[in-house]
Amino acid sequence: MLVKLSSSVLKQTRWYEYAVRFVLGGFATVLAGLLGSHFGVSVGGLFLALPAIFCASATLVESHERRTKEKAGLSGRRRGQEAAALDAAGAAWGSIGLVAFAAVFHLTVAASVAGAFIAALTAWAVVAVSAWWLRRKLRIVSHHARQSRRRSSAKNLRFFS
């Protein structure tokens, strides 16, 4: 899978989908602020680290995929759910990079704020890309292991038949 940027997707998105993203993202940010004012900035910061747009993006990814399949005359319900699940998995893996950002920033901010941001951004990029790469490699290894188990069990079935 090649990661690429495509501006044509912006034309496919309806105006109200942007409004939903804005409202839900704003709501998540306000909720983080309220939690921060009540429980302290550390707790509020943890909730702010949750991608505020994720709430909206999961539902919008699902509806886009479902519509695409339905245009082709197929039921897109399962495809939409799978796309939303993949989006959620990506957000979870991306959160590992956010943890690295926070840890490096916390450890280096006393020396230099600008240096801390540069170091934290570098740590985020390295950890996020490494986590993505590792997940991809583990998925490939897991896929090959399943295939070889299937071949092995098929051979055993033929042997006992």
Q: How many angstroms separate the CA atoms of 12 and 63, rounded?
A: 12
The domain locations on the chain are 53-160
User: What string of pLDDT tens digits covers the 161 residues of the chain?
Assistant: 566 677 776 676 777 777 877 787 788 888 888 988 998 887 777 777 665 667 767 777 777 778 777 777 777 778 778 888 888 887 777 788 888 998 999 999 999 999 999 999 999 999 988 988 888 888 766 656 666 666 666 555 555 55
pLDDT score for 146: 66
Nearest to 103 by CA among 49, 53, 51: 49
Contact 91, 135 (CB under 8 A): no
